[in-house]
């Protein structure tokens, strides 16, 4: 029994070190390996959660075996319970908040329809100007034309009505 706990403790510690060095590759492999599941549980099988749980299982099993008077089955059950609790804690305290905080800077031009913008370069009635649109955590500049075919001076708040051929067609905010 003690040999199993020592193996889990050492194996979990080695996996933690390997995860520290190759974490992105292993995280992608975990996503691919669980892609067949009908529910989204990929984040539960992240290497940091698994290696943490295996390490805690080994360590808590050693401590329970040495310092408690429980029978072998009780030691195993206690070690599994502690490992699951710590693994769940790692998921809810570390993995889930980090996953939810990820921001992407990628966007599609079609996503800009309906967005608010500010005119940077005046837009003539039958010509082009420039607008500043807030996308995600940043701002982007785009070529714009007036949707209503009227002049729009710089500094005016507008809304993107339509996106055609890489040009934003905007209308004044009223």
Among residues 100, 131, 163, the one where a domain terminates is 100
* Predicted TM-score of the model (pTM): 0.51
Q: Please check whether residues 93 and 117 belong to one and the same domain.
A: no
Q: Please check whether residues 9 and 92 belong to one and the same domain.
A: yes
Question: By the 8 A CB rule, do 170 and 158 touch?
Answer: yes
Q: Please check whether residues 128 and 155 belong to one and the same domain.
A: yes
Burial class of residue 55 in the structure, from the number of CB atoms within 10 Å of its CB (0-12 exposed, 13-18 middle, 19+ buried): buried
Phi and psi angles of residue 134, each rounded to the nearest 5 degrees, phi first = -85, 120
Q: Please check whether residues 72 and 128 belong to one and the same domain.
A: no
Separation CA 79–CA 13 (nearest Å)? 16
More confident residue, 161 or 49: 161
What's the domain range around 163? 109-172
Phi and psi angles of residue 158, each rounded to the nearest 5 degrees, phi first = -135, 170
Which pLDDT does position 108 carry in this prediction? 81
Q: Please check whether residues 48 and 85 belong to one and the same domain.
A: yes
The CATH number that applies at residue 145 is 2.40.50.140
As for how many domains the chain has, the answer is 2
Question: By the 8 A CB rule, do 57 and 12 touch?
Answer: yes
- Tell which residue, 55, 80, 56, 79, has the closest CA to residue 67: 79
Q: Please check whether residues 72 and 41 belong to one and the same domain.
A: yes
Tens digits of per-residue pLDDT, 60-72? 999 999 999 999 9
Tokens of 101: 């905080």
| pLDDT of 139 higher than 90 | no
Separation CA 103–CA 146 (nearest Å)? 31
Q: Please check whether residues 12 and 45 belong to one and the same domain.
A: yes
Which pLDDT does position 158 carry in this prediction? 95
């Amino acid at each position: 029994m003690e040999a199993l706990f020592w193996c889990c403790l050492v194996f979990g510690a080695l996996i933690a070190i390997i995860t520290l060095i190759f974490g992105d590759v292993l995280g992608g492999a975990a996503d691919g390996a669980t892609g067949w599941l009908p529910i989204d549980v990929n984040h539960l099988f992240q290497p940091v959660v698994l290696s943490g749980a295996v390490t805690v299982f080994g360590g808590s099993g050693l401590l329970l075996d040495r310092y408690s008077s429980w029978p072998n089955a009780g030691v195993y059950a206690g070690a599994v319970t502690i490992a699951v609790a710590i693994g769940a804690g790692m998921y809810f305290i570390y993995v889930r908040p980090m996953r939810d905080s990820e921001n992407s800077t990628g966007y599609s031009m079609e996503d800009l329809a309906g967005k608010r913008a500010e005119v940077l370069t005046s837009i003539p009635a039958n010509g082009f100007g420039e607008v500043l649109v807030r996308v995600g955590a940043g701002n982007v500049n785009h070529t714009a034309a007036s949707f209503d075919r009227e002049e729009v001076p710089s500094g005016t708040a507008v809304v993107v009505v339509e996106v055609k051929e890489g040009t934003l067609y905007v209308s004044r905010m009223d």
